[in-house]
Structure 1
């Protein structure tokens, strides 16, 4: 996680002192920028919110797990291959149109939006001859 702006001075110093003393704080972040460089990483922006050692029950459960089993749990290395997205991004209208094309595949009549454009065939470019 990369801290920018005021997060460096106040929260960054607090986190650094906790880590130097051997504590491992639970961080809750909201509205951060997620980017990918040798795996995923996050960085704060001006609208980010950062809470250190919150009183949420989930944070307490996570802290108890880490102090018990999690500290000795093997770490899983994250590389680009294991985190990268494999799905192809499509627009909803493309997906809907593909489904409609499949549904009307063997039909005699097609909806207008699935028909091929015949504009050039019926309205060719006009050629004009000028008399000199």
Structure 2
């Protein structure tokens, strides 16, 4: 993820010094059998990776509301070729990491300066309305 952001010319800073904070949390990885043979052995596995993200301004205005992103892939399992299938699974895991990073970048793409200023302005108006101020 860090490499993708740096490729997009994003200046990465510690959260306490940043104008905007991308929170990536609750990474989960799952592997489960998705098809079973007649002998009750796994014939296919589904790999799933999930992560929670949100983007806030330094004054805690949400630019991207908390969202759950996931990516999954299914592959055939062959008990007679375990090493090759382990390598395939590792390759698929790397692809899933890349897909999650791409999904995050896709969510960040619409956040240009004008959009951010509009979101901040709307949040300020909502705060004033909620507090009863004109």
Q: When you count strand as a share of all residues, which structure comes out higher?
A: 2
State the TM-score, normalized to the length of structure 1.
0.24
Please identify the structure whose Cα radius of gyration is greater: 1
